[in-house]
Structures are given as C-alpha cells and as structure tokens.
C-alpha cells in the first residue's frame, strides 16, 4: 500500500519589519560589546586621586570622580572601537579575538567609526564641561591611544610604554577632576604597575599564539618569553619598591598623619605574585580586567587592600587630625 507523502513543512517567513528590528538589535549589541564594558575596570585608576587625595568622604568630589570615571569609560570604549577597526584583519588570525563583532563582520566598519565619532565627541564635550584641564587630559588620552593603534603598537618597547602612559593620564585626570595633588611616587607606582600588566599581556599573547604570534600582532616578533620575563622581573621589583617608599616617605606620613600605610605592603606583594602565578602556571594575563574579575583570590586581595588603605587614611584617628 503506497504511503501518502507528507506535506513539506514550510517555516513562516518573518515580516521585513521584524528582520530589520532583529538586525538593528544585533548591531547595537555588537557595538556595546565592542566598547568592552568588561575592560572598564581599568578606569578605576581615575579614583586614585579621590582616595589618596583625602576627598573620599566629600559628596561633590565623589560625584566629580564618578563623572570622570564614566567619561573615561566612554573614551576607552571609543579607543577599543578604533583599535578593533584597525586590527580587524589581524584579529581574524587569533583564536579568541576573531569572534569580536568587528572582526567577525557582525558590526560593519562604517557603523563602528560612526559610533566612535558620536560617542567620542559627546564624551569630550562632557569632559571639558567638567573641567577644562580634565578635558585636555581626556583629549590627550584619546590622541595617545589613537596614535598607539595607528603606529606606536608596532614599535618595540614604546608599545607597552604607551599603554602605561595611558594609565598615568587616567590618574592625572582623576586628580584634576577632584582638584587634588597626587604624589610623584604615586605616579611612578601607577606607571610601573601598568607596565607590569602590559608586559604580562604581551607574554601571554606570545606563548598562546606560538608560531602564529607575528601573524596576529607584528610587534610580537620583537619579543621573546625570556626577554619579557627579564622586563617583568625588573618592573615587578621596581613596583614593590616604589610602593614601599611611597608608604613611608615623609610626604606621605605628613599628609596622612601616620606611617601605618606601610602595613598594607603584603597585599601588593601577594597580588603581584598571584598574578605572576596565573601568567606562568595558568596561562592567564591576556586580559588583566578579566583576570581580576574571575580570579577570586586576586579579587579578594584587591578588595582587602582597598579596605585597609581606606581605614588607614580615613579611620577615626585620621578624621580627628583633619578636624584640628
């Protein structure tokens, strides 16, 4: 007995309006992803001036620092957009970065550049409205990182130094936003810490990509794991020494009316050693922000350090000194 053929199952077609809405939603989601909100923790450097400038308990200063943080998040997002546009061909050779919206084609280059222009201009207007000098530093940050994306990332040693200077500009801008002066030692500490993170990231890329490293990032051909390990060793020691000197310097003890800030040294010691352990034994370090958010011991260390520093600077005994 012949079987009656089953009718073909025809999937309902989506109305053109629904297709356009889905594409628009996908484009917006891709643009938001390309701004890399997960990397915005780097902009916490903006709060260094608020914390160490003894203005953490002042609402106007807190609002100004919060505004500075938001503006730098937007500006760093613009830099990521420009960087992804410039690196889209190289990113397609990377096992992870090839999934980025611009590299994968989910976000057209024209849309990325348009978004970068609109967001960047809006953020710079807001930066100059906050404080003219803050606006100049924000403009310097964008120009420096744009130059990095176009040229400096291909120049050995200058590539990691440029990244470190970008962190330094964040610290300076945060101090300007709340009208405080920051110790020279603190600036030195910040640039050394940023160098440590940048060099660790280079090492992670070099080891992860092996023979394909130069295909992804040409500058990696100028480095070797041994050379990077030597640089990291120098910067690690320098960072810890700079922090120790800062905590006991006459300027610091006079400013905070205590020498107990030196008691916080075990936290950066553990944090840096933990980070090195993750880089060398767990193949981490590709993204410092992701590492900070995903590694619980490292996150706890940073939180405890911040809490103890705040207690030393803003404890009851210190508030009595301020009131005198």
Q: What is the pLDDT of residue 320?
A: 47
pTM, two decimals, is: 0.82
Query: Of 181, 213, 231, at which residue does a domain stop?
Result: 181
Same domain? 38 vs 174: yes
Lowest mean pLDDT among 268-272, 314-318, 319-323: 319-323
pLDDT at 30 over 60: yes
Where in the sequence is the domain holding 260, given as residue range(s)?
Answer: 183-324
- Please report the pLDDT score of residue 220 as a whole number: 81
Residues 143, 50 share a domain: yes
Tell me: do 192 and 318 sit in the same domain.
yes
How much is the pLDDT for 322? 46
What per-residue confidence (pLDDT) applies to 306?
92
* Predicted pLDDT at 151: 86
**Measured on CA atoms in the order 299, 300, 302, 306, is the torsion positive or negative?**
positive
- Is the same domain home to 143 and 232? no
**Residue 91 or residue 148, greater confidence:** 148
What is the reported pLDDT for 16?
53
CATH number of the domain that residue 62 is part of: 1.10.357.140
Q: How far apart are CA 244 and CA 258, in angstroms?
A: 14
Q: How far apart are CA 34 and CA 170, in angstroms?
A: 21
C-alpha pair distances (Å), 243 with each of 108, 211, 267: 45, 37, 11
Q: What is the mean pLDDT of residues 59-66?
A: 95
19 near 64, Cβ under 8 Å? no
Please give the share of the chain, as a percent, with pLDDT higher than 90: 46
Encode pLDDT of 233-254 as tens digits.
999 999 999 999 999 999 899 8
pLDDT at 13 over 70: no
317: Cβ contacts below 8 Å, ≥ 6 apart:
257, 258
Which tens digit of pLDDT belongs to each residue from 251-300? 899 888 888 999 999 999 999 999 989 888 877 656 777 777 788 999 99
């Amino acid at each position: 007995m012949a079987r009656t053929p089953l009718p073909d199952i025809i999937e309902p077609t989506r109305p053109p309006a629904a297709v356009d809405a889905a594409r628009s939603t996908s484009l917006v989601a891709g643009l938001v992803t390309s701004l890399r909100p997960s990397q915005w923790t780097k902009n916490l450097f903006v709060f260094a001036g608020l914390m160490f400038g003894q203005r953490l308990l002042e609402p106007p200063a807190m609002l100004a620092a919060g505004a500075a943080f938001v503006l730098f998040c937007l500006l760093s997002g613009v830099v990521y957009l420009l960087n992804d546009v410039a690196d889209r061909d190289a990113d397609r050779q990377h096992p992870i970065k090839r999934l980025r919206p611009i590299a994968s084609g989910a976000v057209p280059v024209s849309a990325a550049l348009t978004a970068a222009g609109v967001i960047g201009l809006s953020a710079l207007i807001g930066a100059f409205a906050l404080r003219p000098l803050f606006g100049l530093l924000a403009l310097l940050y964008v120009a420096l990182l744009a130059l990095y994306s176009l040229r400096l990332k291909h120049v050995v040693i200058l590539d990691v130094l440029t990244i470190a200077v970008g962190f330094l500009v964040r610290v300076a801008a945060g101090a300007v936003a709340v009208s405080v002066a920051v110790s020279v030692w603190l600036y030195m500490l910040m640039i050394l810490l940023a160098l440590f993170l940048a060099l660790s990231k280079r090492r992670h890329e070099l080891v992860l990509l092996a023979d394909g490293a130069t295909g992804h990032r040409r500058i990696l051909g100028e480095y070797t794991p041994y050379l990077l390990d030597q640089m990291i060793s120098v910067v690690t020691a320098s960072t810890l020494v700079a922090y120790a000197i800062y905590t006991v310097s006459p300027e610091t003890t006079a400013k905070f009316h205590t020498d107990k800030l030196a008691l916080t040294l075990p936290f950066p010691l553990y944090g840096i050693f933990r980070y090195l352990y993750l880089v060398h034994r767990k193949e981490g370090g590709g993204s410092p922000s992701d590492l900070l958010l995903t590694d619980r011991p490292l996150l706890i260390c940073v939180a405890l350090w911040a809490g103890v520093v705040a207690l030393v600077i803003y404890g009851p005994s210190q508030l009595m000194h301020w009131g005198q």
